Amino acid sequence: MRWWKILGLAGMAGVAATGVAIARAERRRRAYTPEEIRQRLRSRVEPPQPDQPDQPEGRRS
């Protein structure tokens, strides 16, 4: 019977630790301003610059 108590306490500690990790990640995510988020998203979807070749040098076909 005693080991059930230990197992229950360990489970509760695990749930609490997971909640702390999620809260930290949420705080870090919300630290960005809306403009910073827009800039990051735009940089991901920008087409490659024309002065940069699509293929590395020496591998042109």
DSSP label of 59? -
Q: What is the dihedral of CA 46, 52, 53, 54, to 10 degrees?
A: -20
* 34 confidence band (pLDDT: 50, 70, 90): confident
- pTM comes to 0.44
How far apart, in whole angstroms, are the C-alpha atoms of residue 29 and residue 32? 6
pLDDT over 60 (residue 61): no
Q: What is the pLDDT of residue 12?
A: 92
**H-helix segments, 1-61:** 2-30, 34-45
Q: What is the pLDDT of residue 60?
A: 56
Lowest-confidence region among 15-19, 39-43, 53-57: 53-57
